[in-house]
Structure 1
Amino acid sequence: MAKHELAKRASKWMEGTGPQSDIVLTSRIRLARNLKSIPFPHLLNDEGQKEVIDKVVQAVNTTTVTGTFGKMDMLLLEYLSPLEKQILVEKHLISPAFAEKKKGGVALNADETVSIMVNEEDHLRVQLLMPAFQLEETWKAADILDDALEQTVDYAFHEERGYLTACPTNLGTGLRASVMVHLPALVLTKQAKKILGSLPQLGLAVRGFYGEGSEAQGNLYQISNQITLGLTEEEIINNITLVVQQLIDQERSARNRLKEELYHQIDDKVNRAYGILANARIISSEEALKLLSDLRLGIDLGMIKDVDPQILNEMISFIQPGLLQGSQGKTMNAGERDLTRAKVIRTKLAQQRR
């Protein structure tokens, strides 16, 4: 994959199709792995980091990997511009912390369902990212990839502690499973704070759009496990699946309540959002996300017709500063981005009305 394609192509998760896709945008599995007898990344010199990258390149190019997941391209951070790194963050292919590093690499397959960060906090951060509520299927794919990689590289593993990781919180399975959910009705009915606030008691973390350290925008939340040690991978997946299914049921109930009890107020709210998005000449990413969330709610409640419900999935990333500049092929200041963002959204909605 050429670097210039990063901003041009949509990731598979942006398709927005699959089980419960009106509420769950993505399912993600991330595995923390380290190579046996090699120090953790923060202890490696340049030569040691290159050795790890070379081993991973060899592993991802085996037919065992490519036969299932396709060709993998390794992008080295030292050859990426700050804008290109930002685009990778906005597409959820690397972490914001990794984007700050000067050394390391990320291996990507063609549809960007697979991304492997190399020399982030651990030697490998293997990620599978799929659309909608497909956590079990995503885990199965990640497990297959993990086994395929292990045929070439030796992982650091302890019989009692499990996979050895740079941070003790990832010991054991090294597994972080997460789903991104859209919960506008729970927010509007003022139930979200209480419900989401109870999840840490169940061993789950609630984070914003870009994961750890980020704020929730556009009524989008990431729900993930906090515990990796003492549970099997299947138990972790089952726990999250049960809790997220309850969240889905509560969001659906709240949506039905809004439609039955506050129909005219919600109808006005979502059509105002549509009107602003379809006509605004200047718009910030924060305002756009809020209005796109309202628009998607209106589509899901049947109040807005002739607009593809997947518009939220695609636009939440492509209106972000990095992707916006990358897709236009030029750098822009904040004012220019706000002008361009509004034009991109207007054009997208106009195309859907034809």
Structure 2
Amino acid sequence: MLMKKHLTLESKAELEGLATRNGWTLRHAIQSGIDNPDSSIGIYAGDSDSYAMFSRVFDPVIREHSRYDMRGHPSDFSLEGLPTENLDPEGKFIVSTRIRVGRNLATYAFPPAISAGDRARLEAEIVGVLLGLTGELTGTYHPLGGMTEEERQEMVDGHFLFKQGDRFLESAGVNRDWPEGRGIYHSSDKRFLVWVGEEDSMRIISMQEGADIAEAFTRLKTALDAIGGKLDFASDEIRGFHTACPTNLGTAMRASVHIKLPLLSGQPGFERICDELGLSIRGLHGEHSEALDGIHDISNKYRLGITEREIYWGLYDGVRRLIALESALARALSWQ
């Protein structure tokens, strides 16, 4: 666990008496790691101030996890000069594409630390902006507490709606006041979604069936330009956009595909190949889940110290190579 590795007795003694303006303390920050010794990170931020006040712990965790030298985080959404054609027009390999970012607002605590009153005010402020979106982003907002169980489960099963946080988020305080102050906004075609009040105040998502990564990326940029013009996102020049979990700092972007790799994923070197391509592997239903019928969730491993453009290219090129390897194995099998 990185928190345990980098929280020295000296820094613990120095930081124990401190609290941010939202009352977030070192104990709050590390509680999830204390409760869950199998956690890989073990520390959460309750607000933007957390990263500065408890930097003696957060910064070394960030450096090691993200391989980041803390010298400044760049941003670039341009796709100029990069290939944008559909990687799998026949749909043989890629089931769907999803690109999301996490965002918190500078004037509020993050979900682990926010009060019930501020949670309601934050929801109202965000929803007011979302309901003003136009064009393909036009949609409706559904408060989580106002859904029937059937409606909620249908959205969860369709990968549109988040579930109550796992034990790691529970210990961090993310699940407090559930389900109040939480909900989902989605466009009529459900290619654009915003989760309100999950692990971060906003998870802004562009998703669609198939392999058109460029289309999903461009839609997300359009949405961020519109929303970011109305809301003040928490960020700084070193850590990029602030998120509750330090693993999401920087672009706070996770660009992913659900991809069928039944042959390649059965090879002993599959995880090594993905790691060398800068890609992470999850199961079909996200983190801590298993693959199903050879379908894996493949995404960028790093978010901090690289640009959105680099994340796009890393996923695009990495998926192209995985498809080539899977196709080669299929051809070899057919020759036998």
Q: TM-score, normalised by structure 2?
A: 0.67
Q: State percent identity of aligned pairs.
A: 31
Alignment partner of 1:90 out of 153, 157, 166: 157
Give yes or no for contact 1:20–1:133 (8 Å, CA) kept in 2.
no
* Contact 1:52 1:118 survives alignment (8 Å): no
Which one is further off, 165-174 or 49-58? 49-58
Cα distance between partner residues in 2 of 1:166 and 1:40: 6
Correspondence list, 1:1-354, <5 A: 19=89, 21-62=91-132, 65-70=133-138, 72-97=139-164, 101-103=178-180, 104-186=182-264, 190-191=266-267, 193-261=268-336
Q: Show CA shifts across 1:288-340 (max 9, x none).
A: xxxxxxxxxxxxxxxxxxxxxxxxxxxxxxxxxxxxxxxxxxxxxxxxxxxxx
TM-superposed deviation, 1:27: 1.1
Contact 2:130 2:227 in 1 (8 A): yes
Deviation at 1:220, TM superposition (A): 0.6
Would the alpha carbon gap of residues 78 and 223 (structure 1) be closer, same or farther in structure 2, given more than 3 Å must change? same
CA RMSD, Structure 1 to Structure 2 (Å): 2.2
For residue 327 of structure 2, give the secondary structure of its aligned residue in structure 1: helix
Distance 1:181 1:40 in 2: 33
Is the partner of 2:194 in helix, strand or coil?
strand
Equivalents in 2 of 1:186, 1:121: separation in Å? 33
Q: TM-score, normalised to structure 1's length?
A: 0.63
Instruction: Give the Cα separation in 2 of the matches to 1:81 and 1:257.
Output: 50
Structure 2 residue runs of 5 or longer lacking an equivalent are 1-86, 167-174
1-structure distance, mates of 2:333, 2:162: 36
Contact 1:41/1:122, CA 8 A, preserved across alignment: yes
Q: CA deviation at 1:110?
A: 1.0
- Please state whether the residue corresponding to 2:269 is helix, strand or coil: helix
Counterpart Cα distance in 2 of 1:44 and 1:215? 32
CA distance in 2, matches of 1:204, 1:116: 24
Q: Could you say which structure has the higher helix fraction?
A: 1
Number of residues of Structure 1 aligned to a counterpart in Structure 2? 240
Amino acid at match of 2:147: L
SS in 1 for 2:100: strand
Question: Which secondary structure state, in structure 1, belongs to the residue aligned with residue 258 of structure 2?
Answer: strand
Query: Residue 73 of structure 1 aligns to a residue in which SS?
Result: strand
4+ runs deviating over 6 angstroms: none
Question: Do the aligned partners of 1:185 and 1:258 also contact (CA within 8 Å) in 2?
Answer: no
